[in-house]
Amino acid sequence: MSPRPAGLKDIRAITFDCYGTLIDWEGGAKQSLRALLQKRRPRDTGLFRAEFLDELFRAWERAQWTRIQQGYAPYRQIAAESLEQVAAEHELPLTGADARAFADSIATWQPFPDTAAALAKLKQKVRLGLISNIDDDILSASVARLEVEFDLLLTAEQARAYKPSPLPFQRALERLGLPAEQVAHAAFGFEYDITTASALGFRTILVRRHRREFPPAPVPDLIVADLAELAQIFG
């Protein structure tokens, strides 16, 4: 067992980003996009190439990032409208109904293979929470797949704001009743999570997953490859 870093000795709770850290966000999105494209244009195999699906996913990510900076709206609406925008830009035969179906499919996306067992192990040591840029009902469906009882579920719908706004993080601390220095926030990305959490005084844990490039600052208190490694360190 690897020793817990000194900065994490007094941690009483770990909050997690859900999608991309616990749930396979990229894999789920690409699977749903592929299914929609196959339904609309089954003979155009170029649309199903890994390279094109990756391009489409990245474009959708950029579009929704831009949209959440403009103020709160339900996440289903943001996800669907962002896909409609990207489909138009790429001249894809996806309808508004397809975009709404894509947004609905988020609730069915699967956890990473190591997630459930690691969360169960961590639950024996610390309180667990989720801070997620999502709607309440979507998160509820995802949590059912994680097989652990969380002490905190904080959504953009509740905060009326999206990460990287500090509001969701501040609401989470209020509900946990803990100072930031006793809470670690674990996430795979800097853009939405690590930068803001660090600025607010959280200890931060970078879960690398499949990502290889990250900004040089802020420096996380701990970097792990996946949740299994995190559970081992806290075990």
pLDDT for position 5: 82
Residue ranges of the alpha helices (H) in 69-148?
Answer: 75-89, 96-105, 115-123, 136-143
Among 173, 176, 178, 230, which residue's Cα sits nearest to residue 196?
A: 173
pLDDT greater than 70 at residue 117:
yes
pLDDT for position 113: 97
pLDDT for position 83: 97
Selected catalytic residue, list 17, 135, 193, 221: 17
pLDDT for position 150: 98
Q: What band does 214 get if pLDDT is binned at 50, 70 and 90?
A: confident
pLDDT for position 57: 96
- For residue 17, indicate whether it is catalytic: yes
User: Cis peptide before 218, with omega less than 30 degrees from 0?
Assistant: yes
pLDDT for position 42: 61
* Dist CA 66 CA 70 (whole Å): 7
pLDDT digits (tens, 9 = 90+) for 186-197: 999 999 999 999
Across the chain, where does the E strand assignment appear?
A: 13-16, 127-132, 152-155, 183-187, 203-207, 222-224
| Mean pLDDT score across all residues of the chain | 94
Cβ atoms < 10 Å from Cβ of 183: 25
pLDDT greater than 70 at residue 1:
no
pLDDT greater than 80 at residue 97:
yes
Q: What band does 208 get if pLDDT is binned at 50, 70 and 90?
A: very high
pLDDT for position 4: 79
pLDDT greater than 60 at residue 163:
yes
What domains are defined for the chain? 6-24+110-234 (3.40.50.1000), 25-108 (1.10.150)
Percent above pLDDT 90 for the chain = 85
